[in-house]
Amino acid sequence: MKFEPRPDNDFDEFIDVYFQRCRDRFGKLLAIAGKWTYEDLIPGLSDFDTRFIVADDTSLDDWMAMSLAVGQVHTELARARPEWARILEHLPGINLTVSEMTDPIGYYPEFGQWTFYQGDASAIERIAAYLAGQPWTQRDEAFHLKRFATYYGPYNRGIDPAINLGRWESKYPLHSRFMHYFTPPVQAAVSLVRRRAVRGKSDALRQARELFDRPDVIHRVLDAVDRHYEVPAYYAEPKLSDIERELEDYLRSVLAALSGHVSLIDVDPDDTRDELRARIAAMPPDPAEAFFSGARFCRLMKGRLLFYAESIDAFDSSWLIRNELGRIISNFYETPLRAYGQLRFDDRLEADEVLDRCTGDVVTAQDREAVALFVGMAGAPIPEGQERRCARQVAGAFDPMLRVIETLRRDMTRRIAESDCEVTDGPDR
């Protein structure tokens, strides 16, 4: 098997160029972070999961302008630097103000797995100080249990297609199995045992080698990554299938090792993937976390879709569009609105019922009608070859959905804050 050699690591250059260009277009951008640590960014194979921090006075109109501006930066860089097609796979997923990052109501356990690279020192220091003082809670445990369950079980060969990898595509079978679908549950398990979020994937693997049985499995993964996956024997059958079973067996043993380290579920190492997910689905729900789980990713979605709708020689967006449109209604409509309805009305309502109850109160009738049009458009089948057209149409209808999410976000935050004040300051305390 012939491999394209490991390319030079230009993530430093990318982060610098990308952040500066985005900040030039949007002056309220304060800092850039990314998931995991720098050593986890594997040249030629990794994308960059950007997280942006902006000023506290960022308005809804600002978010809309930022979404378009960042999408334009992606388009320009994808055309000018085709070698960055993989890194530029998507716009930043989570984008928050400094106050949102340091507000307990919106605390997200993934925050502890971000690395800050550049930006306003005072903003970064404020965020770091806040996160350093956060205790381990059931919210953290639930997050890492869900993450473990997401990847638990046999590897699905059809779930992670090789896209925009260029000359390094031949190495993706191992990268997908080792770093995309094996390391995340190991990282979650190590975090559960340590009772703190482990930031780096590679660091999590090294810690797992000390915590769990079968250190030889971890050695195999780390060695392959260190060799940039240039291990010809691993790609041939039956060896590849043997590796998949080995990784699955390892995770099963790790699940058994979690007994005594978690409190929200009873650990049964004989559970299948579906049985484990059922246990986790039965955990007490947190409406605020359910709301924010989708809403956090909403702000730059329009720019993401418009970027995907561009015709760029070195960038294939067809699968990416289908993936986004396949989950956009669940993430930004059904899940947040159901969660808001549960918190506000103490009732399990469908999203359209919640929106109806809110219309004339926190949601305008015009936005109610526009959101219904968005949901119908986003849920329509995508004809083969028409992905870019559909992405452009859904992006054009997205603003009312964002406006409703932001309105409900503010109202939910206010209600939770007032409820906490009543508990703290009430007459019985």
What is residue 204's DSSP assignment? H
Mean pLDDT along residues 63-88: 97
How far is residue 144's CA from residue 150's CA, in Å, rounded to a whole number?
10
pTM for the model:
0.94
How far is residue 310's CA from residue 68's CA, in Å, rounded to a whole number?
13
Strand pairing category for 114-119 and 50-54: unpaired
Q: How confident is the model at residue 287 (pLDDT cuts 50, 70, 90)?
A: confident
3 state DSSP class of 296 = coil
The tens digit of pLDDT for each residue in 302-322 reads 999 999 999 999 899 999 999
Phi, psi values for residue 40, rounded to 5°: -85, -5
How far is residue 298's CA from residue 230's CA, in Å, rounded to a whole number?
38
The tens digit of pLDDT for each residue in 179-196 reads 999 999 999 999 999 999
Mean pLDDT along residues 270-281: 94
Question: Do residues 56 and 111 make contact, with C-beta atoms less than 8 angstroms apart?
Answer: no
Q: How confident is the model at residue 87 (pLDDT cuts 50, 70, 90)?
A: very high
Mean pLDDT along residues 48-58: 98
Between CA 194 and CA 197, with CA 195 as vertex, the angle to 5 degrees is 90
* 198, pLDDT greater than 90: yes
Residue 422: predicted pLDDT: 53
Q: How far is CA 291 from the centre of its chain?
A: 15
Question: What is the rounded radius of gyration, in angstroms, for the C-alpha atoms of the chain?
Answer: 22
Question: Do residues 174 and 162 make contact, with C-beta atoms less than 8 angstroms apart?
Answer: no
How far is residue 352's CA from residue 350's CA, in Å, rounded to a whole number?
6
3 state DSSP class of 55 = coil
* 404, pLDDT greater than 80: yes
The tens digit of pLDDT for each residue in 137-160 reads 999 999 999 999 999 999 999 889
* 37, pLDDT greater than 60: yes
Mean pLDDT, the chain, rounded, equals 95
